[in-house]
Every structure is written in C-alpha cells, then in structure tokens.
Chains A and B, each alone.
Chain A
C-alpha cells in the first residue's frame, strides 16, 4: 500500500481557502486518491476522490498533478464547522479494498 504524508496540523480563518497537500511518492498505477473528514467522536466521512487532474464537487476540489505523487485538497471559504481532521488515502481499484489511514491533518478554523 502506498504510504501518505500530510502535515499534522493547519490553522486558518473563516472565509479563507484552505489547501491541504498529501504526498504519496510510491503511488501505483491503479491506485486512486480519496480524502475523508472526521469530526471528534464520529467516523470519517467521504469528501472527494480522484485519479488524475482535477475533481470538484459541492464540498471541495482535488488537484492531482500529472506524476500523481501528491494531491491537494482545496476547501473554499472555510467556516468554523470545517474544523476537523482530514485524511488522505491511496488505494487500488481492483480486488479487495483495504484502506489504511494515517494520522491525518488537524485543521482548526478560527473566527
């Protein structure tokens, strides 16, 4: 399984755009990238997923460069409720799906 590296923590302010970068240097050809959000005492919640280039949904955008060795989760205009831990995972699309979570990035949004 490809290992991921993320910043341990980030701070931001309401209304700002937040970009969290994840490194996955040994990502395999059939791996795709998924981001989750976790609030205290809750299970992680799926945010966004992609394989290459850019993916956008109603919550976030995911930017993946051509070499796919990193990815950036972009949260537009964060609010206090976006304070959470964000996890980056890489996993294969074929066979059994065995996602492994790292320690994630703790994002704190200040008023």
Chain B
C-alpha cells in the first residue's frame, strides 16, 4: 500500500531563518505531488504541484520554493522565513484510477515562525 511521510511534525523557526520540509511517498511511482498550506481556521492553499522530476509549477508567488530531486521526494524550502509563513503545511500525492484521480495527504508539518 502507499504511504506518505512528512517531517518534521512541528517546527518553530525565527523570522529570517531558512526552511526545509521534506515529503516522501512509498508504494507508487510517478505520482503527482503537491504542497499545500493551511493558515489557522482557513482552507487549504495550493502552493506547488509537480507532475514529474524537476517539473514544478507554482500557484502562489512568494518566498517559498519547491524541488523534486527524485520521483517520490518533494521538498519545500525558503531562504528567509516571514511571520506570514506560519501555518500547517501538507504534502499530498495523487494517482489516476481509471477516469478519476484520488489524492492522499501526509500528516502535515506545523510551522510557527517567531
């Protein structure tokens, strides 16, 4: 069965510090991968999605970046964090089943920028 991992689970970082969040998927190949952010009490905001290695699309211009160095690895980074970067970061993957897609989410990383 497929499994998605995210780490760390929680993170407290000062403003201006760098960020690296990692997501890996097991049990599938060539998945579509996604990074979402959820601010407190809000819906999910799609940040990046990737259909393959080194193929990344950004949905929201900001100080975050994403990379996909391997088929099942997706990394979210920042060189200098802002207070507004605080939130719950979720990695997800999707697979096409017939005519439908199903999307599965990781456990998330709670980031607090102080």
Which residues of A come within 8 Å of B, CB atoms? Answer: 32, 34, 41-46, 49, 51, 87, 91, 93, 96-104
Select from chain B the residue with minimum beta-carbon distance to A45.
Answer: B105
Which residues of B come within 8 Å of A, CB atoms? Answer: 32, 34, 36, 42-46, 49, 51, 59, 88, 90, 92, 94, 96, 99-108, 110
Query: B105 to A97, Cβ gap below 8 A?
Result: no
Query: B44 to A97, Cβ gap below 8 A?
Result: no
Query: A96 to B49, Cβ gap below 8 A?
Result: yes
Question: Which of A43, A93, A100 sits near B101, CB closer than 8 Å?
Answer: A93
Task: Write the nearest CB–CB distance from A71 to chain B, whole angstroms.
Answer: 15
Residues of the A chain whose Cβ atoms lie less than 8 Å from the Cβ of B102: 46, 49
Question: Which of A46, A51, A100, A102 sits near B104, CB closer than 8 Å?
Answer: A46
Task: Write the nearest CB–CB distance from B110 to chain A, whole angstroms.
Answer: 7
